[in-house]
Amino acid sequence: MVKKYLAIVICLSAIIFAGSCKGESTSSNNTPEAIDTANDVIVESSESSEHISINDSFEIGFDKLEFGELEFDELEFGELIYEASHFKIYDLTENHKPKYRYIIYNSLGDIVKDTTMWRQPYINYIFDETALSILWGVGTGTYQVYYYDIHEDAFSQIFMSVIVEGHDMIVYAMWIDNEIKLVVQNPFDPLLFYTEIGINCIRAVNPREAIRDIEFVDEMTLIVTYLSEDKSGYKTETIHIMQEN
């Protein structure tokens, strides 16, 4: 009698255990793609064999607090406010709490960046539509921007308040060696082009405030308008760009 009772108990335990394993397996197979917020890359589901490669420079300078990234529900899209071949921007704002989501696609249509943030992003094609600029404000007159090279499937680091983009280069102002200088560089690889140019502008706490305007005349010439160091007014200067050795 005891042996018969033990056999029944063992059979029931085996049935319950098998059912619980089956339930766990079903849940795992339905797991969608998710964002790994620690490493900021796409984590593929078990149903996909694709692997997204992110350029190493993508992680340089990405500060979560400055970047304003938020955790989000992947199925949360909200209102589509802008769409192009390589990106989409959604407005997820609720109860006067701003929240935005943007998705970057490569040339094959695969997602290479999927992010939500509490500041509105602005995305534009640059460099004859071979790259994207992704920009958002971080304070009065200050913004951050990084770039995505569509052809090379590579991201740049984040830059502060870039003033102009052109001829595969960007120009921004920053304090270097106790003076404000213009930096002209290739955003994806400074080894391709990088130079620093000193200008006699006002010593503003925010270097961007000293510059009124910059434009490319050609790939090796800039016209710069800045507030002069003696505060006598704005000065316009033509600057010829030379690569540093």
Q: What percent of the chain has pLDDT over 70?
A: 69
Domain boundary among 127, 158, 189: 158
* Over residues 169-178, mean pLDDT: 96
Query: Tens digit of pLDDT for each residue in 90-137?
Result: 999 999 999 999 999 999 999 999 999 999 999 999 999 999 999 999
Whole-angstrom distance, CA of residue 70 vs CA of residue 41: 14
CA angle 192, 199, 176 (to 5 degrees): 60
Domain containing 125 equals 32-158
* Over residues 39-64, mean pLDDT: 32
Beta-ladder partners of 90: 80, 101
Query: Tens digit of pLDDT for each residue in 185-234?
Result: 999 999 999 999 999 999 998 999 999 999 999 999 999 999 999 888 99
Domain boundary among 99, 134, 158: 158
Is residue 31 packed enough to be buried (19+ CB in 10 Å), middle (13-18) or exposed (0-12)? exposed
pLDDT for res 71 = 52
Q: Are strands 194-198 and 179-185 parallel, antiparallel or unpaired?
A: antiparallel
* 135 shares a domain with 76: yes
* 146 shares a domain with 175: no
Is residue 39 packed enough to be buried (19+ CB in 10 Å), middle (13-18) or exposed (0-12)? exposed
Tell me, yes or no, whether 195 lies in a domain: yes
pLDDT for res 162 = 96
* 133 shares a domain with 187: no
The answer to whether residue 64 scores a pLDDT higher than 70 is no
The answer to whether residue 28 scores a pLDDT higher than 80 is no
CA angle 194, 197, 200 (to 5 degrees): 165
pLDDT for res 57 = 33
Beta-ladder partners of 83: 88
Q: What is the DSSP letter of 89?
A: E
Tell me, yes or no, whether 22 lies in a domain: no
* 137 shares a domain with 37: yes
Tell me, yes or no, whether 2 lies in a domain: no
* 175 shares a domain with 153: no
* 74 shares a domain with 142: yes
- Is the whole model's pTM more than 0.75, yes or no? no
Domain count, the chain: 2
Whole-angstrom distance, CA of residue 144 vs CA of residue 44: 28
Tell me, yes or no, whether 220 lies in a domain: yes
* 203 shares a domain with 148: no
* 136 shares a domain with 48: yes
CB 118 within 8 A of CB 126: no
Domain boundary among 108, 127, 158: 158
* 186 shares a domain with 123: no
